[in-house]
């Protein structure tokens, strides 16, 4: 569903040329839960931006849902972002002056849906993340975990083709982080594709597949060898019990 | 794609910035409406025709200080000379000039029984038979003065004219039912000093531009001999006025027993007399210009600041699918709401201010159509002012949303 | 601590030059506009003779037309007196300390030598005028009361005229030719410009230059020198006598009358005297209206005459509203400035500054901005006053910024700035340092 081929991104200033991505090639299939990992400075954020059509590649091809989206203009990219990508940010990025309902509403407003349809979807999404009764709260009145759940509701509201999550639990304590991860896993089981960027190997382990980015390149690997061993051992244990 | 609800709710939570702009808009509307009204009133006043051939008229004022000189002869010589100058259409001795601020007010009585509080007040002008032509007055009915009807008014005699030519406005005030021509009126109560109305001219203003009876004027056939002052009004052919002024001054200055106090075009005199009104127009215009600029810049500044404060938000919206145009639209709508609130307050303010100014200082009631005009102007001002910050906001890259700073 | 805060303020202002300039400019504009109209208003309505304004009184007698509408207050009564009434009062033994009868006239001054003649305004009055109005003399002094009685051809001239005719020398004893006659100069007065010239009943001339020539009124009437200014008549002249005589004994008003009354008792006594005078005159057939005398001290007289025009008041009100808009503008700018400083504030709080200290520091900064705004405002007001002077003929004495006005400008600006800044400064002092210290 999402396929990048030889994608490069070069940032040029007067003094310095930075190659954030070098001929990155990877793919994500429909229904997958993929974790994109790598140390800081590896190009994860650049990958995220390009995947979410926030930036355009300097060279290479990005095909999303069958269409080549590598060199669209800003207006076209905005449209696709709105319709096909569901963003979940590390710092939630809820708009502080809007109620939860209005926050979930934001991407829907750019669709041209009727007021009734929007309200219905907002209600469903907030119920889905367990915050339906707090529609009119302000983000500042919620905990970090709750805010991220609202963000997830917002991301899902527009029925995107995939969720693009940037360190979704980075700003949460372990209990809230667990809640959010379980929510994501549940959504994925329902069929939503999830691409999660993270530097946390434990988080990455919960995904079905990891893509490791280093120095701007991807190694489209199946699960790491160590993890395979652990898995096999776990299955053997289970078989024995 | 109507963001109205959320934008409005956001404003409710961020009242201060919005309120500051709204109040500025309100005050601007109130002040500009009233200032514009004052301008239009004064401009109307100044534009009223005096009745004279304004571009081609000039005045000469001289003062004789040698009491041995025969003033009457001197006047005859002056008039001959002035009338003989090339380019002169007509010249007349006169003791007061319309819209000059200085003149002679008199009362006419239509019956001997009329009391002084019922008499009709008007501006009186002493001229000879060249008066009508010099003042460019059109006789609607009746005739001009004859030379034998001239009288001498001075500190030596009570000589009094028997005839008068009046303006149409004065004729209507004296005889509202019409046909003032030929009627006898009185300059004093109890039937004293009868005068016959021998002519009616179209229009001439008196010396005081802001008087209630500014259109009520009359001419009497008299030479004024008071204290050495000799005033002449001259009408010239088009384009000859300045030359005539120079030549006239040269001639008059030759006589060393008098001083030539003033040689001035009528247009200049009018400008001076209306000086206060013209000044008010200038001041009000300045107020409007600067106030609009300050409010506009205030909007630009506050909106710019607001954009800076909301960078992350704007980036997020873009990430969620807003186009650049959507962002611009967001700020335009937000500004429109604030401006509208300001306008709503401002309308009340404009009406209140106008009521106050009218009650205290008699400025007059502003006509209602000023308000919609002002509203549109301010909406435009607000939208134009927010355009720059809005476009800057639109330039915020969506990638900002993913930055962790 | 205060000077430390001022130093901090200046440094902080330098760091955000654009924002600071905008604030100073916004305040300066508002102050400049307001001070322009306020200066004119202040000079127009100021007490023209503060040390004597309570003891000098203008006299009004209602000798007017019985058919005119009834009068309730001094504004409805003619501001001038007939020649007869003024003369009678001057000759009588009244409770006043001093009285001065006067009128406005003029003549052509014919200099010695070849210089061209020119017109000058003249005040015809009595020798009491100079002491009553505290007119300063450079040379010589007023004529004595004998000159008034004998209608002597004497004159007191002003410094400007003295400079023009005599090169500034002591001209006492020399002659000045007015129209056909020579007058002996007995005194030269220094520059004297009461603002407004409250004794002149023609308000269109109240702000023009003081007359440069004073002569005995008795001598002027003798000539006769015709009055300049307003002459109002309601009754026809007596035609059985020559015109001049008829005019002098008529009910026409064209003279002004002032009395010096130093104590409240004296004021009451004088008022009674005037009432009795009018009653007497009524018996002779004059004063057909009900008894209606008024005496007003200088400041009351300014109100009666309506010195400050409606236009001036409208300008004052509108310029004040303009100042309010500028202050609102400044509030926004201050909010922007202080909220942008939240990092620094958090740092200071972490290092031990109390909320009060932050508040004070920022308030000093606001006050400094206000002071700068006041200075800019003074400059703009000066420009504005030059503009007003060129627009209005005859405002030359109403457009100067004296120390009181300068202090008002700066004080008003600081006050406005503090008013504008109170909320932003308070907001910032309440910020909790904890949330602001880490980079977000």
Set of chain A residues whose Cβ sits within 8 Å of the Cβ of B2: 109
Identify whether residues C14 and C96 lie together within a single domain. no
Identify whether residues C100 and C240 lie together within a single domain. yes
User: What pLDDT shows up at residue A221?
Assistant: 46
User: Which residue of chain B has the CA closest to A118?
Assistant: B1
What are the strands of the beta sheet with A209-214, ordered from one edge?
A85-88, A162-166, A193-197, A33-37, A209-214, A217-219
With a cut of 70, say whether residue A240 has pLDDT above it.
no
With a cut of 80, say whether residue C419 has pLDDT above it.
yes
Q: State whether C322 and B31 contact (CB < 8 Å).
A: yes
The strand pairing partners of B154, in sequence order, are B225
Tell me how many residue pairs between chain B and chain C have CB atoms under 8 A apart: 148
Please, what is the Cα angle at A59 between A56 and A61, to 5 degrees? Answer: 80
Identify whether residues B231 and B287 lie together within a single domain. no
Query: Which of B254, B273, B292 finishes a domain?
Result: B273
Model pLDDT for residues A89-130, shown as the tens digit of each residue:
888 889 888 899 999 998 888 888 888 999 999 999 999 899
pLDDT, average across residues A140-160: 92
Rounded-to-integer distance, Cα B144 and Cα B133, Å: 10
CA-closest candidate to residue B229, choices C123, C107, C183, C247: C107
Instruction: Read off the pTM.
Output: 0.85
* Alpha-helical regions (H) of B310-323: 311-319
Interface of B with A (CB under 8 A): 1-3, 5-6, 9-10, 13-14, 312-313, 316-326, 397-399, 401-404
Name the phi and psi angles at B343, rounded to 5.
-65, -40
Identify whether residues B35 and B119 lie together within a single domain. no
Query: Which of C264, C287, C305 finishes a domain?
Result: C305
Which is higher by pLDDT, A219 or B235? Answer: B235
**Residue C87 DSSP SS3:** helix
Model pLDDT for residues A171-181, shown as the tens digit of each residue:
888 888 998 99
User: What pLDDT shows up at residue C272?
Assistant: 96
Annotate B3-18 with DSSP letters as a single string: -HHHHHHHHHHTHHHH
Model pLDDT for residues B318-358, shown as the tens digit of each residue:
999 889 999 999 999 999 999 999 999 999 999 999 999 99
Q: Please, which pLDDT band fits residue A222 given cuts at 50, 70 and 90?
A: very low
Q: Please, which pLDDT band fits residue B1 given cuts at 50, 70 and 90?
A: very low
Identify whether residues B163 and B247 lie together within a single domain. yes
Give the domain extent around C6.
2-47+309-437
Instruction: State how far residue B23 is from chain A, nearest Cα, in angstroms.
Output: 22
Query: Which of C279, C305, C331 finishes a domain?
Result: C305
| Burial annotation C202-229 (CB, 10 A radius, 16+ → b, else e) | bbebbbbebbbbbbbbbbbbebebbbbb
Structure ipTM: 0.87
Q: How many independent structural domains does chain C possess?
A: 2
**Residue A203 DSSP SS3:** helix
Q: State whether A54 and B14 contact (CB < 8 Å).
A: no
The answer to whether the beta carbons of residues A9 and A70 sit under 8 Å apart is no
The answer to whether the beta carbons of residues C198 and C258 sit under 8 Å apart is no
Q: State whether C325 and B227 contact (CB < 8 Å).
A: no
Rounded-to-integer distance, Cα C205 and Cα B19, Å: 47
pLDDT, average across residues A190-201: 90
Identify whether residues B93 and B236 lie together within a single domain. yes
Q: Burial of C430 by CB count in 10 Å (0-12 exposed, 13-18 middle, 19+ buried)?
A: exposed
Identify whether residues C61 and C92 lie together within a single domain. yes
Q: Taking all residues of chain C, what is their mean pLDDT, rounded to a whole number?
A: 90
Q: State whether B321 and A112 contact (CB < 8 Å).
A: no
Identify whether residues C76 and C173 lie together within a single domain. yes
Of C224, C243, C393, the CB nearest to B158: C243
Q: How many independent structural domains does chain B possess?
A: 2
Strands (E), C230-299: 256-260, 294-297
With a cut of 70, say whether residue B396 has pLDDT above it.
yes
Query: Which of B273, B308, B333 finishes a domain?
Result: B273
Identify whether residues C228 and C289 lie together within a single domain. yes
- Interface partners of C (3+ CB pairs, < 8 Å)? B
Instruction: State how far residue B279 is from chain A, nearest Cα, in angstroms.
Output: 50
Model pLDDT for residues C293-321, shown as the tens digit of each residue:
999 999 999 988 888 888 999 999 999 99
Identify whether residues C268 and C358 lie together within a single domain. no
Identify whether residues B20 and B147 lie together within a single domain. no
Identify whether residues B111 and B258 lie together within a single domain. yes
User: What pLDDT shows up at residue B2?
Assistant: 62
User: What pLDDT shows up at residue A223?
Assistant: 47
Instruction: State how far residue B288 is from chain A, nearest Cα, in angstroms.
Output: 36
Instruction: State how far residue B294 is from chain A, nearest Cα, in angstroms.
Output: 29
Identify whether residues B125 and B251 lie together within a single domain. yes
Q: Please, which pLDDT band fits residue A220 given cuts at 50, 70 and 90?
A: low
Identify whether residues C61 and C31 lie together within a single domain. no
Identify whether residues C177 and C218 lie together within a single domain. yes
Identify whether residues B207 and B331 lie together within a single domain. no
Q: State whether A75 and B3 contact (CB < 8 Å).
A: no
Instruction: State how far residue A229 is from chain B, nearest Cα, in angstroms.
Output: 35
Identify whether residues C85 and C212 lie together within a single domain. yes
With a cut of 60, say whether residue C405 has pLDDT above it.
yes
Q: State whether C324 and B66 contact (CB < 8 Å).
A: no
> Which of B284-288, B384-388, C204-208, C318-322 is least confident?
C204-208
Q: Please, which pLDDT band fits residue A228 given cuts at 50, 70 and 90?
A: low
With a cut of 60, say whether residue C438 has pLDDT above it.
no
User: Which residue of chain A has the CA closest to B399?
Assistant: A54
Give the domain extent around B377.
4-47+276-402
The strand pairing partners of A3, in sequence order, are A27, A63
User: What pLDDT shows up at residue A14?
Assistant: 82
The answer to whether the beta carbons of residues C119 and C211 sit under 8 Å apart is no
pLDDT, average across residues B230-249: 96
Q: Please, which pLDDT band fits residue C333 given cuts at 50, 70 and 90?
A: confident
* Alpha-helical regions (H) of chain A: 44-51, 74-84, 100-109, 115-128, 144-157, 174-189, 201-206, 225-240
Annotate C294-348 with DSSP letters as a single string: EEEEHHHHHHHHT-S-HHHHHHHHHHHHHHHHHHHHHHHHHHHHHHHTHHHHHHH
- Give residues with Cβ within 8 angstroms of C437, minimum separation 6: C343, C346, C347, C350
Identify whether residues C289 and C340 lie together within a single domain. no
Query: With pLDDT > 70 as the criterion, what percentage of chain B qualifies?
Result: 99
Model pLDDT for residues C16-49, shown as the tens digit of each residue:
888 888 889 999 999 999 999 999 999 888 899 9
Identify whether residues B297 and B362 lie together within a single domain. yes
Tell me how many residue pairs between chain A and chain B have CB atoms under 8 A apart: 89
With a cut of 90, say whether residue C428 has pLDDT above it.
no
Rounded-to-integer distance, Cα C365 and Cα A108, Å: 46
Query: Which of B224, B249, B273 finishes a domain?
Result: B273
Rounded-to-integer distance, Cα C36 and Cα C29, Å: 11
**CATH architecture group of domain A2-240:** 3-Layer(aba) Sandwich (3.40)
Query: Which of C275, C305, C335 finishes a domain?
Result: C305
Q: State whether B321 and A52 contact (CB < 8 Å).
A: no
pLDDT, average across residues B380-393: 93
Model pLDDT for residues B81-124, shown as the tens digit of each residue:
999 999 999 999 999 999 998 999 999 999 999 988 899 999 99
Q: Taking all residues of chain B, what is their mean pLDDT, rounded to a whole number?
A: 92
Identify whether residues B157 and B61 lie together within a single domain. yes
């Amino acid at each position: 569903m999402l396929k990048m081929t030889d994608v490069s991104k070069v940032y040029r200033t007067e003094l310095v040329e930075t190659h954030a991505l070098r001929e990155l090639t990877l793919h994500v299939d429909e229904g997958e839960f993929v974790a994109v990992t790598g140390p800081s400075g590896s190009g994860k954020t650049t990958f995220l931006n390009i995947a979410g059509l926030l930036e355009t590649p300097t060279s290479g091809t990005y095909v999303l849902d069958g269409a080549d989206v590598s060199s669209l203009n800003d207006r076209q990219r905005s449209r696709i972002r709105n319709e096909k990508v569901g963003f979940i940010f590390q710092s939630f990025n809820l708009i502080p002056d809007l109620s939860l309902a209005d926050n979930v509403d934001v991407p829907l407003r750019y669709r041209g849906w009727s007021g009734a349809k929007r309200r219905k979807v907002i209600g469903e999404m907030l119920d889905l993340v367990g915050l339906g009764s707090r529609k009119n709260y302000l983000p500042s009145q919620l905990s970090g975990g709750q805010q991220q759940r609202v963000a997830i509701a917002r991301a899902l509201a527009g029925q995107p083709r995939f969720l693009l999550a940037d360190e979704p639990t980075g700003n949460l304590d372990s209990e809230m982080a667990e809640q959010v991860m379980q929510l994501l896993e549940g959504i994925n089981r329902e069929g939503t594709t999830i691409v999660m960027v993270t530097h946390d190997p434990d988080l990455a382990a919960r995904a079905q597949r990891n893509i490791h980015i280093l120095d701007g390149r991807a190694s489209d690997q199946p699960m790491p060898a160590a993890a395979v061993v652990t898995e096999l051992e776990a299955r053997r244990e289970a078989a024995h019990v | 794609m109507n963001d109205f609800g959320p934008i409005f709710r956001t404003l409710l939570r961020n009242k201060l910035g919005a309120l500051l702009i709204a109040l500025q808009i309100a005050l601007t509307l109130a002040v500009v409406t009233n200032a514009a009204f004052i301008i239009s009133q004064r401009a109307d006043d100044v534009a009223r025709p005096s009745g004279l051939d304004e571009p081609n008229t000039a005045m000469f004022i001289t003062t004789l200080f040698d009491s041995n000189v025969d003033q009457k002869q001197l006047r005859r010589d002056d008039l001959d000379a002035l009338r003989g100058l090339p380019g002169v259409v007509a010249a007349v001795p006169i003791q007061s000039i319309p819209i000059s601020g200085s003149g002679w007010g008199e009362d006419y009585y239509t019956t001997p029984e009329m009391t002084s509080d019922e008499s009709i007040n008007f501006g009186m002008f002493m001229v000879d038979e060249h008066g009508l032509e010099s003042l460019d007055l059109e006789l609607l009915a009746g005739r001009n003065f004859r030379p034998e009807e001239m009288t001498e008014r001075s500190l030596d005699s009570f000589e009094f004219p028997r005839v008068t030519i009046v303006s149409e406005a004065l004729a209507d005030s004296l005889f509202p039912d019409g046909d003032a021509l030929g009627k006898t009126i009185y300059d004093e109560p109890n039937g004293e000093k009868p005068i016959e109305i021998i002519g009616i001219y179209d229009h001439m203003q008196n010396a005081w531009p802001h008087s209630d009876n500014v259109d009520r004027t009359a001419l009497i056939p008299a030479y004024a001999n008071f204290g050495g002052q000799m005033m002449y009004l001259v009408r010239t052919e088009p384009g000859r006025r300045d030359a005539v002024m120079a030549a006239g001054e040269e001639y008059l200055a030759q006589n060393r027993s008098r001083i030539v106090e003033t040689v001035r075009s009528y247009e200049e005199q009018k400008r001076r007399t209306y000086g206060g009104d013209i000044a008010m127009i200038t001041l009000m215009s300045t107020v409007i210009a600067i106030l609009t600029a300050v409010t506009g810049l205030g909007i630009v500044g506050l909106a710019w600041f607001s954009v800076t404060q909301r960078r992350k938000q704007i980036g997020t919206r873009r990430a969620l699918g807003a186009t650049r145009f959507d962002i611009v639209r967001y700020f335009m709508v937000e500004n429109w709401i604030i401006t509208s609130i300001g306008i709503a307050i401002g309308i009340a303010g404009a009406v209140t201010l106008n009521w106050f100014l009218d009650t205290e200082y008699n400025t007059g009631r502003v006509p209602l159509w000023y308000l919609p005009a002002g509203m549109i102007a301010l909406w435009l001002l607000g939208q134009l002012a927010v355009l720059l910050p809005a476009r800057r906001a639109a330039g915020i890259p969506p990638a900002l949303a993913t930055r962790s700073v | 601590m205060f000077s430390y805060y001022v130093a901090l303020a200046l440094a902080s202002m330098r760091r955000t030059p654009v924002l600071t300039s905008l604030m100073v400019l916004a305040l300066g504009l508002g102050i400049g506009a307001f001070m322009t109209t306020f200066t004119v208003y202040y000079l127009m309505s100021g007490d023209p003779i503060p040390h004597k304004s309570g003891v000098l009184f203008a006299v009004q007698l209602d000798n007017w037309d019985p058919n005119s509408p009834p009068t309730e207050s001094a504004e409805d009564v003619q501001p001038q007196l007939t020649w007869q009434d003024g003369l009678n009062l001057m000759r009588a033994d009244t409770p006043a300390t001093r009285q001065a009868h006067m009128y406005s006239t003029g003549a052509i001054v014919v200099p010695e030598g070849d210089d061209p003649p020119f017109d000058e305004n003249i005040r015809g009055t009595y020798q009491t005028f100079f002491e009553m109005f505290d007119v300063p003399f450079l040379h010589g002094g007023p004529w004595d009361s004998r000159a008034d009685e004998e209608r002597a051809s004497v004159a007191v001239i002003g410094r400007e005229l003295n400079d023009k005719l005599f090169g500034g020398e002591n001209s006492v004893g020399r002659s000045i030719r007015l129209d056909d006659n020579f007058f002996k100069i007995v005194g030269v007065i220094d520059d004297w410009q009461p603002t407004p010239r409250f004794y002149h009943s023609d308000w269109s001339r109240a702000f023009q230059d003081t007359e440069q020539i004073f002569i005995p009124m008795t001598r002027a009437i003798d000539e006769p020198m015709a009055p300049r200014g307003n002459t109002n008549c309601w009754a026809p002249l007596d035609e059985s006598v020559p015109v001049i005589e008829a005019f002098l004994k008529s009910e026409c008003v064209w003279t002004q009358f002032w009395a010096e009354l130093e104590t409240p008792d004296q004021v009451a006594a004088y008022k009674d005297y005037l009432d009795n005078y009018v009653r007497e005159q009524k018996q002779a057939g004059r004063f057909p209206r009900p008894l209606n005398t008024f005496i007003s001290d200088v400041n009351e007289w300014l109100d009666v005459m309506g010195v400050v025009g409606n236009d001036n008041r409208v300008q004052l009100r509108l310029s004040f509203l303009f100042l309010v808009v500028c202050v609102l503008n400044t509030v926004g700018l201050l909010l922007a400035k202080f909220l942008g400083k939240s990092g620094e504030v958090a740092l200071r709080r972490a290092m031990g500054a109390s909320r009060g200290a932050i508040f004070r520091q920022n308030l000093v900064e606001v006050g400094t901005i206000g002071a700068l705004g006041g200075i800019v405002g003074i400059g703009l007001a000066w420009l504005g006053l030059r503009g007003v002077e060129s627009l209005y003929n005859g405002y030359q004495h109403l457009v100067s910024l004296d120390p009181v006005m300068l202090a008002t400008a700066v004080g008003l600006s600081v006050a406005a700035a503090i008013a504008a800044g109170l909320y932003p400064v308070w907001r910032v002092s309440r910020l909790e340092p904890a949330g602001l210290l880490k980079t977000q």
